[in-house]
C-alpha cells in the first residue's frame, strides 16, 4: 500500500498572500491541497493554491535542459544534459564579462518564487551575479513602483499597511481600485471583508469595472474613469474644506505642508478650483455622486480606504497614491483600528523576525527601472551604464508578455547574444532563450515563507523533485563551482543548514512546532501602520525631513516630482484623439500574472474577452462573441467581445497575463501589445492604465 501523509505547505508566489495550506500525499504524488487545520479563523487559501498539484504533476513540466536550435521564439529546442547546459551558461557568463564588462549581464525575472527565505528567485539571482563579478539589475516592480517610490518621501517608511483584522472596527470600507476577491493580498483579507459584509458595514468599490469584489461583498459600485482617481480625491478634499470637515488640529500635528496643497485645491496656483464639478469631467461621474460619497466618507468614524495598485499604474499614479494618504490624514483615520493610511495596497507590515539569504552589493553598480528594461537592452534609452547589454539572465519571470509593448520585448530578446531562463514550463520568455533550465516547484523543496501579515509559514517538501529538474539554488551552486566561487556562494551550507541558520536568527522559539503546524504567528496581531507615531508624534517621529507625514515634500520635488500632489490631465492629448476608449488590464482570479495560463484546470476559468459596455457595443454594431480589432499608439491585437453592463461606458477591459504561444504570436488576447514602456514620472513606474484604444469589428461570431 502506498504511503500516505499530510504536510504543511505555503505558496511561494507573487500573490502577496501567503496562505497556510496542507498537502495530502500518497505514493509520492499530491492528491489534494486544502487549508491548514492549524489556520486562524479568517485564514483561507484560494483556488490557485488548492489546484497547485495540477501544476506540479503537469505533463508539460520541463524534464531536461533545452538548447535552442531554431530562431529565437520559434520554439525549436533539443534536450541536452545538465553538465552541457551548465557549461554553456557558465561560458556565456564569462564571455559576456570578458568582452563587454560585468554590467553587460542583465538580471530579469524574479517573481516566480518571491516570498522564500532561501528559495527566492530574485535574491538568489542577485547573490549569484554579484559574486560572479556584477551585473545590471532591474529595480522596482511592474506592480507597484509609483506607490513604492513615494512612501519614503511621504512617510519615511514602507511599513504603512495594517493587519486585516483591524478592519473589523471600521464604519466604512472603501476599496479604491482594489479587487481582493480576485487578487487576494492577504490570507485573512477576504475573510475579514466577508464578515464586514455580513455585519452590514457599508463597502464601496471605486473601479471602472463591476468587479468580483463588488458582487461577492454586495458593495456599492462607483464606476470611475481610469486615471482620474487623483481628480476625484482632490474634489473630495475641496468638499471637506468647504464643509469644514477637515480635522485641522489633527492635520497640523501629524502632517506637514497641507497649506500649499490647500492653496492648489482652491485654485490659488492655477486659477482652477478643484470642485466636484471640475472633477466630474475627468471621472465620468456626476458632481452629485462625488459629493454624496464624500459626505458619507467624512461621516464614518473611522473609515478605511484601501487603494489598490491599479490606482498608481497610471500617468500621475504617484500623485493619486499620495492623495489617498492625504484624504485619510485630513479625516483623522490614520494610525487607528478601523482606519488606514490610504497608501497603495501592498499592505507592508514588519512581520516576524527571521533570517533570509544575504544579497551582496552589486560590484557593477548598474541598474535600470524594470519598466524600461527593454529600452535599456535595446539602447533606446539613455542610462548610466558602462556597457551595452549582451546577456539576459531570467529566473522565474515572463517579461516577454508581462512587460509593456510585447513587440519591443521580442526585439530586445532577439538582439541579446545569450538568454538563459530557469522555469518549469516552456513559457513565451523561455521560447526566446538559448538555454532553458528545468526547475522544481515550491512543493518539491523546503523553505520558510514570509507573508504580508504578521506570520511566518513553513513549507515542507511534499514530494520528490520531478526527475530531471533542479532547485534554483542547486543550479547556482553548480554554476558557482564552474566559475570558481562556490564557497562564497553557498558558504559551505546545505539548504537545510541555511534554513536552520534562518531559524536561529528568527523569533521562532519552537522550531519543531513550526515544522509541524507550518504557522508562526507574530505577537502583535492588530498592527496598524503609523500607530506609534500617531500615539506619540514627538517621541516617535517619522524618518521624514519634518518628522511628520509630508503632504508637501521639498525632497520629493528635488527627485523630479511636484512638492505637493497635483492632477495633470493626459486624456486631451492631440495624439490620442482617434483613440476614444480607455483600456484597463485587470488580473484574473485563476492566473497569477501569467502563471497557469497553460494549465487547463486554470485557463478554462479565465475570461480572455474584451469587455465593453452595451451602449458602446450598440453604437459600433458589435455583438457578444464578435472578433474585434483593438489598436493604440503602440500596437494592435485581436480578441473576442464580451458585451456587458459590468464595465463603464467608454472603457474596455482585457485581462493581463495571456501567453502568446496558443495564438502563435499573432497578436491575440494579451493587452501588452497595446501598452507603452514610457513610464509615469518621477518613479519610472508602470502606466498601463493610461492607455487609450480604438476598436472595430473584424468578423461576426460564427
CATH architecture of 66-139+370-416+426-440+469-505: 3-Layer(aba) Sandwich (3.40)
pLDDT in tens, 446-480: 999 999 889 999 999 999 999 999 999 999 999 99
What's the pLDDT band for 702 if we cut at 50, 70, 90?
A: very low
Euclidean distance between CA atoms 355 and 353, whole angstroms: 7
Domain boundaries defined on the chain: 66-139+370-416+426-440+469-505, 150-349+543-558, 574-699
Measured CA to CA, the distance from residue 89 to residue 66 in angstroms comes to 12
Instruction: Give φ, ψ of 119 to 5 degrees.
Output: -85, 75
> Which is more confidently placed, 485 or 607?
485
Q: pLDDT at position 495, please?
A: 98
**Local confidence band at 386 (pLDDT 50, 70, 90 cut-offs):** low
pLDDT per position as a tens digit, 242-295: 999 999 999 999 999 999 999 999 999 999 999 999 999 999 999 999 999 999
CATH top class, domain 150-349+543-558: alpha beta
Contacts of 175 (CB under 8 A, 6+ apart): 203, 204, 205, 206, 207, 213, 219, 306, 308
Do the domains 574-699 and 66-139+370-416+426-440+469-505 match in fold? no
Distance CA 642, CA 645 (A): 10
Q: What is the pTM of this model?
A: 0.96
pLDDT tens across 645-666, in order?
999 999 999 999 888 865 444 5
Fold category of 574-699 in CATH: Barwin-like endoglucanases (2.40.40)
φ, ψ for residue 15, nearest 5 deg: -105, -10
Closest CA to 397 of 657, 666, 219, 61: 657
Residue 234 CA: distances (Å) to CA of 240, 502, 551: 10, 46, 13
Residue of 159, 153, 535, 156 whose CA lies nearest to 337: 535
Average pLDDT, stretch 219-246?
98
pLDDT for the residue 447: 98
Amino acid at each position: 500500500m502506498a504511503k500516505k501523509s499530510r504536510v504543511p505547505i505555503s505558496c511561494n508566489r507573487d500573490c502577496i498572500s501567503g496562505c497556510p495550506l496542507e498537502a495530502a500525499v500518497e505514493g509520492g504524488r499530491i492528491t489534494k491541497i486544502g487549508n491548514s487545520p492549524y489556520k486562524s479563523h479568517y485564514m483561507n487559501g484560494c483556488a490557485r493554491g488548492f489546484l497547485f498539484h495540477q501544476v506540479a504533476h503537469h505533463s508539460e513540466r520541463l524534464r531536461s535542459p533545452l538548447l535552442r536550435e531554431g530562431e529565437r521564439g520559434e520554439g525549436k529546442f533539443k534536450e541536452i544534459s545538465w553538465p552541457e547546459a551548465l557549461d554553456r551558461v557558465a561560458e556565456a557568463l564569462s564571455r559576456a564579462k570578458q568582452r563587454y564588462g560585468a554590467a553587460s549581464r542583465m538580471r530579469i525575472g524574479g517573481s516566480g518564487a518571491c516570498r522564500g527565505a532561501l528559495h527566492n528567485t530574485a535574491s538568489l539571482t542577485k547573490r549569484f551575479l554579484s559574486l560572479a563579478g556584477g551585473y545590471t539589475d532591474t529595480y522596482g516592480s511592474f506592480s507597484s513602483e509609483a506607490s513604492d517610490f513615494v512612501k519614503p518621501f511621504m512617510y519615511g517608511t514602507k511599513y504603512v499597511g495594517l493587519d486585516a483584522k483591524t478592519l473589523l472596527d471600521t464604519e466604512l470600507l472603501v476599496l479604491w481600485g482594489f479587487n481582493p476577491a480576485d487578487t487576494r493580498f492577504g490570507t485573512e483579507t477576504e475573510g475579514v471583508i466577508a464578515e464586514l459584509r455580513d455585519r452590514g458595514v457599508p463597502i464601496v468599490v471605486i473601479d471602472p469595472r463591476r468587479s468580483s469584489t463588488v458582487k461577492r461583498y454586495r458593495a456599492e459600485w462607483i464606476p470611475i474613469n481610469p486615471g482620474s482617481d487623483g481628480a476625484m480625491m482632490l474634489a473630495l478634499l475641496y468638499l471637506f474644506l468647504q464643509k469644514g470637515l477637515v480635522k485641522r488640529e489633527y492635520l497640523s500635528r501629524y502632517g506637514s505642508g497641507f497649506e500649499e496643497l490647500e492653496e492648489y485645491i482652491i485654485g490659488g496656483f492655477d486659477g482652477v478650483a478643484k470642485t466636484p464639478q471640475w472633477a466630474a469631467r475627468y471621472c465620468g461621474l456626476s458632481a452629485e455622486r462625488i459629493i454624496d460619497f464624500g459626505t458619507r466618507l467624512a461621516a464614518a468614524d473611522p473609515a478605511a480606504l484601501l487603494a489598490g495598485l491599479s490606482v498608481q499604474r497610471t500617468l500621475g499614479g504617484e500623485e493619486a497614491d499620495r492623495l489617498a494618504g492625504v484624504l485619510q490624514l485630513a479625516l483623522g483615520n490614520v494610525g487607528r483600528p478601523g482606519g488606514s493610511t490610504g497608501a497603495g495596497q501592498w499592505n507592508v507590515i514588519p512581520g516576524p523576525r527571521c533570517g533570509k539569504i544575504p544579497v551582496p552589493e552589486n560590484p557593477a553598480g548598474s541598474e535600470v527601472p524594470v519598466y524600461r528594461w527593454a529600452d535599456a537592452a535595446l539602447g533606446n534609452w539613455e542610462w548610466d551604464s558602462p556597457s551595452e547589454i549582451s546577456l539576459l539572465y531570467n529566473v522565474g519571470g515572463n517579461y516577454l508578455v508581462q512587460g509593456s509593448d510585447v513587440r519591443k520585448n521580442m526585439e530586445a530578446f532577439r538582439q541579446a547574444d545569450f538568454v538563459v531562463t530557469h522555469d518549469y514550463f516552456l513559457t513565451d520568455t523561455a521560447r526566446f532563450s538559448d538555454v532553458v533550465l528545468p526547475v522544481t516547484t515550491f512543493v518539491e523543496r523546503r523553505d520558510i515563507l514570509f507573508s504580508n501579515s504578521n506570520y511566518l509559514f513553513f513549507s515542507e517538501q511534499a514530494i520528490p523533485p520531478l526527475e530531471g529538474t533542479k532547485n534554483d539554488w542547486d543550479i547556482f551552486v553548480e554554476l558557482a563551482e564552474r566559475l570558481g566561487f562556490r564557497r562564497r556562494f553557498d558558504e559551505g551550507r546545505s539548504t537545510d543548514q541555511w534554513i536552520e541558520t534562518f531559524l536561529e536568527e528568527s523569533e521562532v522559539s519552537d522550531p519543531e512546532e513550526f515544522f509541524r503546524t507550518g504557522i508562526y504567528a507574530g505577537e502583535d496581531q492588530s498592527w496598524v501602520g503609523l500607530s506609534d507615531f500617531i500615539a506619540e508624534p514627538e517621541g516617535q517621529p517619522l524618518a521624514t525631513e519634518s518628522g511628520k507625514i509630508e503632504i508637501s515634500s521639498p525632497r520629493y520635488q528635488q527627485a523630479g516630482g511636484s512638492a505637493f500632489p497635483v492632477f495633470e490631465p493626459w486624456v486631451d492629448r492631440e495624439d490620442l484623439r482617434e483613440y476614444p476608449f480607455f483600456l484597463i488590464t485587470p488580473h484574473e482570479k485563476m492566473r497569477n500574472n501569467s502563471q497557469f495560463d497553460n494549465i487547463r484546470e486554470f485557463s478554462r476559468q479565465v475570461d480572455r474577452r474584451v469587455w465593453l459596455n452595451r451602449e458602446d457595443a450598440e453604437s459600433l454594431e458589435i455583438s457578444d462573441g464578435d472578433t474585434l480589432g483593438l489598436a493604440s499608439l503602440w500596437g494592435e491585437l485581436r480578441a473576442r467581445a464580451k458585451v456587458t453592463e459590468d464595465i463603464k461606458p467608454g472603457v474596455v477591459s482585457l485581462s493581463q497575463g495571456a501567453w502568446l504561444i496558443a495564438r502563435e504570436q499573432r497578436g491575440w488576447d494579451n493587452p501588452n501589445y497595446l501598452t507603452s514602456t514610457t513610464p509615469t514620472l518621477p518613479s519610472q513606474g508602470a502606466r498601463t492604465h493610461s492607455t487609450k484604444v480604438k476598436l472595430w469589428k473584424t468578423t461576426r461570431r460564427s
